[in-house]
């Protein structure tokens, strides 16, 4: 799904016209229409304004996908996104990732890996990405369900990482 498709779907779910949507994000209606119809690529300012205005996790994922070309968590638009379903799926995926991490030959340097070792490493990475995807959706669902700012959670997390000197 392109970012234009995601924005259009979200806008319609909110019951907003393009004009009303544009007014909220402080951008002209024709820009919204062009992005939604794929006639114009969404600019960074446009994407940030949309995501920040609505604090909608799905929009943040769409922006990440647009900017990275797909090196990001995809939005699971065909999954059960009830809080209990995402909770149990996250636990399952985290446990699978932990099992894969425990069996990965992490103490070996790259040149020491056999073909079988390389497959174990790749399998572990895939399991970790699956856990990241499940956990991201769980956080998204909980933020939306309990009216907690998704952006606020990430800002708090970054502040904690800086306080621990993991970031500058």
Q: For 20-46, what is each residue's pLDDT tens digit?
A: 999 999 999 999 999 999 999 999 889
d(CA 71, CA 107): 27
CB neighbour class for 91 (10 Å; exposed up to 12, middle 13-18, buried from 19): middle
Confidence of residue 168 (pLDDT cuts 50, 70, 90): very high
Whole-model pTM above 0.75? yes
Reply yes or no on whether the pLDDT at 2 is more than 90: no
Contacts of 22 (CB under 8 A, 6+ apart): 28, 29, 31, 32
d(CA 143, CA 22): 25
**Inter-helix orientation angle 3-13/29-36, to 10°:** 120
């Amino acid at each position: 799904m392109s970012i234009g498709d995601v924005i259009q779907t979200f806008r319609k779910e909110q019951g907003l016209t393009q004009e009303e949507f544009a007014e909220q994000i402080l951008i002209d209606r024709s820009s919204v229409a062009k992005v939604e119809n794929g006639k114009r690529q969404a600019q960074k300012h446009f994407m940030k304004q949309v995501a920040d205005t609505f604090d909608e996790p799905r929009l943040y994922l769409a922006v990440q996908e647009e900017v990275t070309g797909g090196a990001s968590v995809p939005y699971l638009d065909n999954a059960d996104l009830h809080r209990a379903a995402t909770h149990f799926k996250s636990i399952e995926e985290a446990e699978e990732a932990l099992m894969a991490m425990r069996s990965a030959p992490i103490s070996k340097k790259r040149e020491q890996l056999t073909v079988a070792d390389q497959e174990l490493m790749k399998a572990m990475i895939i399991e970790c990405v699956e856990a990241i995807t499940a956990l991201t959706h769980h956080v998204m669902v909980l933020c939306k369900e309990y009216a907690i700012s998704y952006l606020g959670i990430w800002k708090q997390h970054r502040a904690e990482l800086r306080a621990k000197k993991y970031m500058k």
